[in-house]
Amino acid sequence: MSDASHTAAAVRPATFSNPVIPGFHPDPSVCRVGDDYYVVCSSFEYFPGVPVFHSRDLVNWTQIGNALDRPSQLRLSDAPSSGGIYAPTLRHHDGRFRLIVTHVSDGGTMLFTASDPAGPWSDPVRLPGVPGIDPDLAWDEDGACWCTVAGVSQIRIDPDTGEAFGTPHRLWSGAPDAKAPEAPHLYRIGDYWYLLIAEGGTERCHGVSIARGRTPDGPFEPCPANPVLTHRGTDHPVQNTGHADLVQGPDGSWWMVLLGVRPRGGTPGWHVLGRETFLTPVTWVDDWPVVAAVTTEPPAPPWPLVPGPAEPVRDDFDPGGLRPQWISVRDRPAEHCTTGERPGWLTLRARGSSLDERDVVFVGRRQQHPACRARALIDPAQGHGGLAVRLDERHHYGIEALDGEVRVISRVGPVRAVVASRTVPAGPVTLAVRIAVAPQQDSRSGPDVLTLGVEDPDGAFTALADLDGRYLSTEVAGGFTGRVIGLYAASGTVRFDWFDYEPLLV
């Protein structure tokens, strides 16, 4: 390329393990400011919305907040499961961070600003003149701001007021016969403007394609090697690769973040963690990006980028609020969820009567590992509630405590059942769920097995039920989310002394 900082170099090896942000973290968008990288992801019906991550090396990511953490920013009362917040784009321009998203359940395109990506972020500026989903932001040399959306179409906007100028005009939309051209990102790199898109739908045919032009509004010529990345039609352990974003490192290297899934089990394969964030290196040849294969295997040492320590697995619910990893279904009113009422305990006050209800009081964290264990100590003396693995209102498993009894509840589609129960001593009880990868014995084997039970004070585990994990998968339930493991109240007031989550060896 004409700019020396973009010249092609030898392909850099993949020196890290994927996914770099595991679990339900789809639609990643990345930007760099100095030596710091930031990533945001879709959050759908969960509150707070749009998790924000920070890294210095693109490999070790720490969640520093959620961009949409106030009711004035995010109203989800009308959002169905897999509705809500879609496909944010994060950019930095003129000293400000700008985040543009689609709220498909509350008015469409919205834009937020912040001086610090950890927050606070502004209340939304609404953009009624920007239709569709997956909005992108790019500024040309004259300072004009271009918003490109799925379809693919584009319109010039004022990002401060939300005013749109003219009407959207169509751009290059990928292969003529490819469905769902979406996730557009527009970049000025060297002598060209590049339009990166996803196409093929976000399932097994997902892919990444690119085109280039001399101006931000085209015309664009497609790359002759399109799609520049896809795993369609392969037996690669990472599938559904797409919805990508590009970023350049301080050393001139180029990288792509993208979503993918890790299906397991027999036919058709079930992914249960949701769409996750992956990373792969990019080089440039003849002014076109060459994207390296997405790998999941850790490299042999030494390597220049090394994974850091995992986040703490235990939460003792100290006063001062919940960590940013905790998310709730649609809202989190303080009168229903607090760490301040009983010091060192999380207090949940029921609203909906079960996880089947849209307004259930639920606080959870994403399942991030194929095999893991989660536990919580609950005091159900003034109500009942429990520990659950949730995909949506119609697909969840839970172990629920009443004073003196525990029971395992399964909800799969229209069928809700108590599949096991057991008496326990009155008072606090430790609930547990263990998730193990299922042995792949034949084409009908599921992805994993969820074992729900209780632990005694000495740590001995008593299993009450083994449940097939395929029913808590996107391939069964549909939608765009992944599993969330958490705590809920079904009646009255329940309190949790601690919660821990531990990855297990596969």
pLDDT in tens, 150-184: 999 999 999 999 999 999 999 999 999 899 999 99
Q: Residue 1's pLDDT is what?
A: 41
Q: Residue 21's pLDDT is what?
A: 96
**What DSSP state is assigned to residue 78?**
T
Choose among 253, 280, 310: nearest CA to 60. 310
Choose among 304, 306, 303, 283: nearest CA to 293. 283
Q: Residue 118's pLDDT is what?
A: 98
Compute the Cα dihedral for 474, 480, 485, 490 and give only its sign.
negative
Q: Residue 12's pLDDT is what?
A: 40
At 374, the amino acid letter reads: A
Domains and CATH numbers, the chain: 4-291 (2.115.10.20), 314-503 (2.60.120.200)
Q: Residue 308's pLDDT is what?
A: 43
Q: Residue 298's pLDDT is what?
A: 54
Residue of 134, 136, 182, 331 with catalytic role: 182
Whether 182 is a known active-site residue: answer yes
Query: What is the Rg, in whole angstroms, of the alpha carbon atoms belonging to the chain?
Result: 23
Q: Residue 385's pLDDT is what?
A: 97
- Which parts of the chain register pLDDT below 70? 1-15, 297-312
**Cβ density class 78-97: b for 16+ within 10 Å, e for less:** ebbbbbbbbbbbbbeeeeeb
Assessment of whether the complete model's pTM goes beyond 0.75: yes
